[in-house]
Each structure stands twice: as structure tokens, then as C-alpha cells.
A and B are shown apart, each in its own frame.
Chain A
Amino acid sequence: MNNRANAAWAIIFVIAAIFLGWRIATGNFGRIYVERQQVTVHAEDGSVAASWETHTKVPPRDHLGEGVSLSIPRTIGLWAGAILTLCIFSFLYGDNPFYKTAESIVVGASAAYLMVIGFWTQIIPNLIGNIVPDWTRTWATPGLDPEAKADYVYLLPLLLSIMLLWRLAPVGGWISRWPLAFFIGATAGFRLIGFMEADFVAQIRATIIPIWVRNPAGGVDIWASIGALTMIVGVISCLIYFFFSLEHKGLVGKTARLGIWFLMITFGAGFGYTVMGRIALLSQRLEFLFYEWLWLDSPTADAVSGAASLIMPGLGA
């Protein structure tokens, strides 16, 4: 049975490889084309002060348009993205060096990306920019308010930042507990208020609703009334279930059991929505592979021509 399964998988991979080879042989895929625009900045005397080119990606079906040319860096990027996508998907068959390599790249690149973002969006404009605004304005954030004055109070967060980074030092790492305590204390402070207001008081207020719901004509809306009553009973029974200091026996036990049923329906709904979410993510990656990389797209974009273009590119266009 194992040999048959292995043979079946081998056949599937061979078919996929043949398909890919056929696409490569027929050419015309896996390229990015861009429209180039020149940006020119003029000095006060009207002379050209600076000039550079910007590129706007065009969809594959417009690659023969006027003013459109091949972009080598983006095409290399497209192939890198497609190959890395397949490396990640290869984990579905089994753990392998391709997956581990792709994983290592994303770990390293993501960590550095966050550092760069933190530096340019916060450390420079809001820390250094507050301590020495004149200097920061000369090179990094020239758009800073020209009347902004140095605020030396920001030496304190600078000090806390250095203390936080001291965690990496071989000795004295305990000093990082001070900024961490700042973090923890601040988080505890704003979360206490936020959760109590929005998730406690407001939720209780929203539960106290009329169970006798009137329709616009003035009569009783029976189904809405049943819904309101069900919701109130559901909230109370779930809360009783969460009350573990009281033994779940007798009436309390029966109510708690009702609460469990409400929670099971909640989790079932959550599972349904989760499946929906995950499939949408997979759809988007497959669209990338099929349309942006392999160019399996027909300009008329209807079902029949979409399928036909698989048989022969251009058919159904």
C-alpha cells in the first residue's frame, strides 16, 4: 500500500513538472512589466533640481501596451516569490531543507524589517526628533515643525531605551526590568480601563434589553422577542458555567449545562468562520501562482475561456 501511495505521489509530481516544463517551453509567463514615469523637481529659479524614474506595475494582459517595458528586478522578485511559495508548500509533503531555508529567510528578514520600521517611524521622529529637532530636521525629517524646540524630558525614554537594550549585554541585564516594568504597568493601566468599560459595563448594558420587542406597526415581533430572550438566557447560563467556585449541581448544574451548549454553538460558528478565513488565504496564494506567475489568465475572464486557455494559451482570448 505504501509503495502504491508513493507511486501515486510520484506520478502527481511528474505531471506537475511536465506542466511547468510545458509552460516554460511555450514561454510568455513569469514576467513583470512596468510603465515608467519621469519625476522632475524644479528649483526656485526654474532649473531642474532633481529627477528620477518611478515605475508602475501593469497587469500581465497589458504587457504589450505602449510605454510598457520589462522590469528585471521585479521579474527576479516574482520568481523568488513563486519559488519560495512552493518551498513553503513543500512542507505539506514533509519537512525538508527547502522549507527550512525559506523559513529562515522570512525569520531573518522580518526581524530586520521590524527594526527598520521602528527606527524610521518612531526612534528618529519621536525620540531623537524631540531631543535634537534641529539636527534631525537637517537630514531625516526635514518636514518637522520648524518651530519645534528640544524637549529634554525625552532623555528619560532615551535612558529607558538604553536600559532595555542592556538586556543583550553579558552583565547587568537586570536593569532591563525597569523599562519592562514601565511597559507592564502601562499595559495594566490602560487595559484595566479599556476592558472594564467596553467589555464589562457596556456588555452588561447591552444585555439588559426588552424581551418584549415591538415591530414598526406597534404589534409584538415574536421572533425578535424570542431572540432577545434567548440571548439573555444564553449570556446568564454561560456566566454561570464560568462560575467554578459554585458546585455545578442541581439547578446551577442544569443552567451550566445549557451554558455549555451555547458555548458549543459559539465554537461551532467560530470554526465555520475560521475555515472560511483560511480558504480565502489559500485562494489568494493560488491566484498569485496561477495568474501572476504562470499567466494562466484569459483576457475575457469568463469560466469557459478560463478553462480553454489552459489547453492552449490564447484560446478563448
Chain B
Amino acid sequence: MKRTAPLLIAATVGFIIIVSSFIPYTESWGEDSMIWFDILAAVAFVLGGGNLLKMNLKKVSDRRPGWAYSAIIIAAFLITLTLGLLKVGTHPNEVFWNKPWSGDYIGEGSALWWIYEYLIYPLTSTMFAMLAFYIASAAFRAFRAKNMEASLLLGTAFIVLLGRTYAAIILTGWLPELAHDAEPSFFGQLWNGLRLEKLTETIMGVFNLAGSRAINIGIALGIASTSLKVLLGVDRSYLGTGED
């Protein structure tokens, strides 16, 4: 029961969704399944938050190294949760002014909005902005033209890096552009194509297109195979080890 029921659930809902894509009569079954899926996705946020709280509370109570940071996590979590759930600082919807809970939970000026705008937004965007530094460092430490393949990669990267900025105009702007009205000649197209910005477009539209398309096809086959294995009960890894 512990392992059979989930397999049956996975197979049933999976096949309902597949069938609903092909048979219009069953379309509403697929819609309802997906709405349940979306509801469970929201509950998964609650599960994630609960798990975070549980783990960090344990760390604080056990006084494990770094427990002070866990205390900060818990404090930030509980404050944000309280302010958000209670809709502190929101004003009601103008149409439903007599319903204080009807307002926008993240309306400008509300407490949750303040936390988003001045804590979450600067912190998450800065964390990703740091990647610019690491990419420069990685470029300096790791990228070596040791063989033909690496040289191709680096050469392409140079063309794209320069071609996607004004450097393309500075370096190859002297090459003739194609005239709009005249029928382009073979060599006219060649010189125009050697301009860095045009070369970048060619790389993206021909070579990158070919490679990405092949990757997409490969991934699609892999996804199809994995999905079928899950739906047919061959792959049961999501059920865990079965020790609980």
C-alpha cells in the first residue's frame, strides 16, 4: 500500500493528462488535474517553509556551529510570514473598502512590499550580479586553448562578445554594408557577413541553431523515456528507500 498506491496515482494522473491532450471530451479532466497540481504546488511552498523552520530550529536548539545564522533565518522567516499573512500595511480594495482583508497582499507601501523591495530584491539581485566577477575570474583561470575544440569555443566566444557590443562597429565597421535596394552580390554578402555583428548573427542563426536543436531533440527523447518509465512504474526512485 505504501508503495503501490503512489505508483497507481502517478500512472492514473499521468495518463489522464496525456489522454486529455488528444480527446476533447476529457479536456476538463486534464484541467481539473492541473488545478489540483497547482494547488499542491502552493502547498509545497508551505512545506518548504515548514521544513526550513524545522531544520533551523533544530540547529539552534542543538547549538550546532553557525546556529546564530539559523536564528537570523528563523527571525526573518517569522517576521515576513506574519507581516505577509496579516496583510500589514495594505489598504483594502477600493470596491470592497469595507473588507479590510481584500487588499493586495503586496501593494506598494505594505509591509511585505517593503521587505520585497528593500531586502529580497537587493539581496537576490546582488547575489546574481556577483556572477559577473566570477565569470571574469573563470575566464582568466580556466579558459585555455589547449586543443582544436577549446580554440573553437574561445574563438566563437570572442566573436560573440565583441559582436554584441559597439566594438563590432569599431573593429569591422569599415567593411561594406549591404545596400537595401540593390540585389546583393556573392562578394557583397561575404564582406557584409564578415562584419562582427553579422558574423555573430550567422553563428547564432546557423551553428548555434544546429547545436541547440540537436540538444533539444536529445533532451526530448530523454524526457519521453524518463516520463514513460515513471508512468509505467519502472522508475520508482521518487518513492524513496522505503525505510519509513
Contacts and interface: CB of A to CB of B under 8 A. Distances in A.
B32 to A, nearest CB: 8
A223 to B, nearest CB: 5
A124 to B, nearest CB: 9
A77 B97 CA distance: 28
Interface of B: 2-3, 5-7, 9-18, 21, 32-52, 54, 66, 69-70, 72-81, 84-85, 91-99, 101-102, 105-106, 108-109, 112, 114-133, 135, 139, 148-150, 152-161, 164, 183, 186, 189-190, 193, 202-221, 223-224, 226-228, 230-231, 238-240, 244
Contacts of A238: 210-211, 213-215
B238 A282 contact: no
Given A49-B98, A203-B213, A227-B205, A192 B223 contact: yes
Contact of A262 (B6, B207, B217, B230): B207
A194 B5 CA distance: 26
A65 interface: no
A58 to B, nearest CB: 14
A234 B150 CA distance: 18
Contacts of A81: 117-119, 121-122
A105 B72 contact: yes
Given A84-B122, A106-B123, A178-B5, A200 B73 contact: no
A112 to B, nearest CB: 4
B114 A77 contact: yes
A122 B239 CA distance: 27
A150 interface: no
A28 interface: no
A29 interface: no
Contacts of A181: 5-7, 9-10, 238-239
Contact of A113 (B13, B75, B115, B204): B115
Contacts of B202: 227
A123 B43 contact: yes
Contact of B47 (A110, A164, A186, A235): A164
Contact of A234 (B48, B115, B214): B214
A142 B92 CA distance: 11
B118 to A, nearest CB: 3
A32 B2 CA distance: 57
A185 B9 contact: yes
A173 B112 CA distance: 32
A192 B227 contact: yes
Interface residues of A, number: 129
A177 B40 contact: no
A126 B43 CA distance: 12
Interface string A277-290: 01101101100100
Contacts of B10: 181-182, 184-185, 188
Nearest to B102: A142
Interface of A: 39, 41, 49-50, 52, 54-55, 73-74, 76-78, 80-82, 84-85, 88-89, 91-92, 100-123, 126-127, 138-143, 153, 156-157, 160-161, 164-165, 167-168, 173-174, 177-186, 188-193, 195-196, 199-200, 203-204, 206-207, 215, 217, 219, 222-223, 227, 230-235, 238-239, 241-242, 259-276, 278-279, 281-282, 284-285, 288
Contact of A50 (B92, B131, B157, B228): B92
25 contacts: A106-B119, A106-B127, A109-B80, A111-B52, A113-B120, A115-B46, A118-B46, A122-B42, A126-B39, A142-B96, A142-B99, A143-B102, A157-B36, A168-B54, A183-B40, A185-B12, A189-B16, A193-B18, A204-B217, A234-B206, A234-B207, A235-B210, A238-B213, A272-B161, A285-B125
Contacts of B37: 182-183, 186
Given A81-B118, A91-B130, A114-B49, A266 B216 contact: no
A184 B238 contact: yes
B226 A188 contact: yes
Contact of B130 (A89, A100, A179): A89
